[in-house]
Amino acid sequence: MTRSLSFLHVALLSALSHVALPPSAAAGEAPPERALVWVADDGTRVRREDVGLPLSRGDGNALFRPGEPIRLGALRAEVIAFQVIVEAGAEPVRGVTVELSGLAPAAGAGAPSKAPPVPAQAISIDRFVEHYVEIKQRSRTDKRPMESLGWSPAARPPDDRHLGFLPDALIPVELAPPWAPYPLEVGARETRAVWIDLHVPEGAVPGLHEGKVVVSSASHGELASLDLRLDVASATLPYGPVDFIAFYEAGRVAERVGDGPAVEQQLWQLLHEHHVDGFASVRSPAEVERLRAAIDGSLYTRERGYRGPGQGVPPAAVALGAYGGFGDPTEEALRRVEAVAELLPPAVDDVMLYAVDEQCESPRGPGWRRLVRGSRLSSRILVGHSCGNVHPVEQDVDLVLTPANRFDSAWARAAHEAGKRLWVYNGALPRAGSFMIDAPLTGLMADGWIAATHPIGRWFLWETAFWHDGNRGGKGPVDPFTVAENFHNRDGDACLGDGMLLYPGTQRGRFASRSVGFAGVFPSMRLKTLRRGIQDAGYIALARSASPGAVDAIVKEVIPAALDETLDTSPTAWSSEGAPFFEARAALRALIPADASLDAAGVRRALAEAAAARRALVPRAGSQGAGDEPPAGGPGQTAPGPLRRFRATGLLLAALALGAAALALAIALYRRGRPGRGARRR
């Protein structure tokens, strides 16, 4: 099919520049007096008290207009999501159900130009109750309340969208408990929502698929019947186009949810379904055997009950003793490391001996590296540690984990030339997405786009089930269904939802009253939007292999600046609303050739080229030189414990810059002899 790339690009830019999503109803506007049903994209978070939003009328809504069908697009092997919002008027609405009939090919839907790799398969549907947690205080730092581990003061998300009752935990409707009921109970002038995942299998018939979303209630009868039209392209989305790896502490999960292989295996399968690898920390042969199916990929097969994407794909990396689990480097410890490493499946790309966490001055990393060089498994084991303060070339390890908000592309290039590996971890606005609950969902979506177009290696998430607040300075276990503030440290940081992308399906002990009784874990909305961004990276790879210039322009429009392209004194450059991402994704989909697919090597090539092109389009921020110094305004990373992220010096830098500018201006005016000239404010 012939396409006009210039027209497409102009149309996209026009659409993005005119999208405006007001965060709340206009001042003085009365809330609706009747029950209302509307639809939101997967990058939008609607609070329980958000009634009368312009989005509910279709204003600025990327996929919903009253009286029109819900229109979605997808590739094969993709999961797409949307939210059905039920909004009550002056009266509560009781017993609300949201049903979606099976999506079937529309009459006349075309067959693929070549036979699908597997027999045609149906699109499957998962529905989740969105559970709300009350936010009374934001993530913060005691001495600087406007700052947190998730953002600098200049990039702090506004209170008027992040205080109140926010949804995050997603509980399957079949398992909904009385305290998060399904059918839904919607209070007067409140909202409730159901999240819907549509799993488009690799063998789906391309073309238009049609279904109907029917929303009914026990108190008000049928509330809405919405047509849904899903256009499935014949191209196939690659699995895991960018590498996100996520740690979990097995003992803590077992303590809360229950011990046993079923719980841990379900956790791994859930992460894998979302294109995220579990990051196993193995310290003994017994632990390798316990996790063998997860590590060799056999856990992600139909024989093991797995129905998601990435069938049989093993994780990219395994940790030997995460966070320094093997202690100091000794000959006896090396023998234990070798006994574990030699049992790992060869399919795992990176076997990382995690020497120490965020202690750049520690001798453990260099000591382990010297010891491993003399090992029979020296070619198999990478010795690594986390450190963001020292140039990676100067660190005597094979692999350096640096905070995403400390990433410097010149450092990364130098590390690569020196034969070292560089990964990033976590994230803080404005340089990368924040994992906090009280931050826009689009930050995690943006992380997938950032990973696709920057040379960051793998992206490591320090925890996924941090329900115990066990950091030094922590306050002990929390019930994540009622308390969002789950992270404290002795430096005075408090975070909401940090290291908590998963929720416990069962809670034992003091939190048993908030137990669903499911032997496993539930996803969060944040995990879902992270998946959306990772899948978008696959879109970028597929589209760029055909239309590189158009794709680079689209990415630049959606992510104007990230990582070392921005400063901590700047606001976040990408949108806090989902619509621009939704529209850009549609534009990328239109650029992907029919029947396109890429293997892992093809994806790597396409994204490496995207990263090189990105540097030409978007320079590093400020007056940075050849990479001898970290990014301007970069925060220190010296606190111990589970990976601490962020201490901005942006305000100091801003004051210094302002003083220097004022001095330069005064000198110039003095020399010109006309003090009032050129003194206009910006």
Q: What is the CA radius of gyration of the chain?
A: 25
User: Per residue in 433-491, pLDDT tens?
Assistant: 999 999 999 999 999 999 999 999 999 999 999 999 998 999 999 999 999 999 999 99
Q: Which stretches of 545-599 are DSSP H helices? A: 548-558, 579-591
Q: What are the residues whose beta carbons fall under 8 Å from the beta carbon of 77, sequence distance 6 or more? A: 200, 201, 202, 236, 237, 238, 239, 309
Q: What is the mean pLDDT of residues 587-591?
A: 98
Position 107 scores a pLDDT of 75
CB-based contacts of 607: which residues, under 8 Å, 6+ apart? 241, 242, 452, 453, 537, 540, 541, 544
Mean pLDDT over all residues of the chain? Answer: 87
Please tell me the distance from the alpha carbon of residue 178 to that of residue 175, in angstroms, as a whole number: 10
Asked whether 263 and 276 are in contact (CB, 8 A), the reply is no
Contact 502, 521 (CB under 8 A): yes
pLDDT over threshold 50, residue 494: yes
Q: Say how far apart CA 391 and CA 434 lie, in whole Å.
A: 24
* Residue 325 to residue 319: CA distance in whole angstroms: 10
Dihedral angle sign, alpha carbons of residues 273, 193, 589, 451? negative
Residues 617-671: tens digit of each pLDDT: 999 997 443 334 444 443 333 333 333 333 333 333 334 444 444 444 443 433 3
Q: What is the dihedral of CA 290, 294, 298, 300, to 10 degrees?
A: 140
Structure tokens given for 649: 């010096």
Dig out the tokens for 609 from the structure.
């080229």
Please give the C-alpha separations between residue 256 and each of 263, 485, 495, in angstroms, as whole numbers: 11, 18, 21
> In this model, does residue 1 exceed pLDDT 70?
no
Question: Can you tell me the distance from the alpha carbon of 22 to that of 601, in angstroms, rounded to the nearest whole number?
Answer: 42
From first CA to last CA, the distance across the chain in angstroms is: 48
CA angle in degrees (0–180, nearest 5) for 555-561-563: 115
Q: Is 227 helix (H, G, I), strand (E, B) or coil?
A: strand
CA distance 182 to 185: 8
Contact 431, 214 (CB under 8 A): no
Taking the CB of residue 451, how many other CB atoms lie within 10 A of it?
28
Strand 421-425, strand 399-403: pairing: parallel
Residues 23, 27, 32, 33, Cα dihedral to 10°: 150
Segment 402-414, tens digit of pLDDT = 999 999 999 999 9
Angle of helix 5-18 versus helix 579-591 axis, rounded to 10: 170
- Mean pLDDT, rounded, for 278-283: 92
Strand order in the sheet with 191-200: 36-41, 78-87, 191-200, 124-135, 164-172
| Residues 41 and 82 sit within 8 Å (Cβ to Cβ) | yes
Which residue's entry shows tokens 């196993």?
Answer: 280
- Is residue 543's pLDDT more than 80? yes
Task: Let me know the angle formed at the C-alpha of 666 by 660 and 671, rounded to the nearest 5 degrees.
Answer: 130
DSSP assigned state of 106: P
Is the model more confident about 112 or about 430? 430
What confidence score (pLDDT) does residue 558 get? 98
The conformational region for residue 159 under phi > 0 = left, psi -120 to 50 = alpha, else beta, is alpha
* Per-residue pLDDT at 519 exceeds 50: yes
**Contacting residues for 56 by C-beta, under 8 A, at least 6 apart:** 32, 36, 38, 85, 87
Q: Tell me how far apart the alpha carbons of residues 404 and 31 are, in angstroms, rounded to a whole number.
A: 42
List pLDDT tens digits, range 314-355.
Answer: 999 999 999 999 999 999 999 999 999 999 999 899 999 999
What percent of the chain stands above pLDDT 70?
84
Which amino acid belongs to residue 406?
R
pLDDT at 6 over 70: no
As a whole number, mean pLDDT of residues 586-598 equals: 98
pLDDT at residue 562 greater than cutoff 60: yes
Specify whether the CB–CB gap between 173 and 57 falls below 8 A: no
At 110, is the pLDDT very low, low, confident or very high (cuts 50, 70, 90)? low
Mean per-residue pLDDT for 90-94? 96
Q: Which residues contact 594 (CB under 8 A, 6 or more apart)?
A: 1, 113, 233, 234, 235
Residue partners of 430: CB distance under 8 A and separation at least 6: 151, 152, 154, 155, 561, 562, 566, 567, 568, 570, 571, 572, 573
Compute the distance between CA of residue 444 and CA of residue 43 in angstroms, rounded to an integer. Answer: 9
Question: In this structure, what are the phi and psi dihedrals at residue 446, rounded to the nearest 5 degrees?
Answer: -65, -30
Give the DSSP letter of residue 674: -
Euclidean distance between CA atoms 657 and 676, whole angstroms = 22
| pLDDT band with cut points at 50, 70 and 90 for residue 120 | low
CA distance 323 to 368: 14
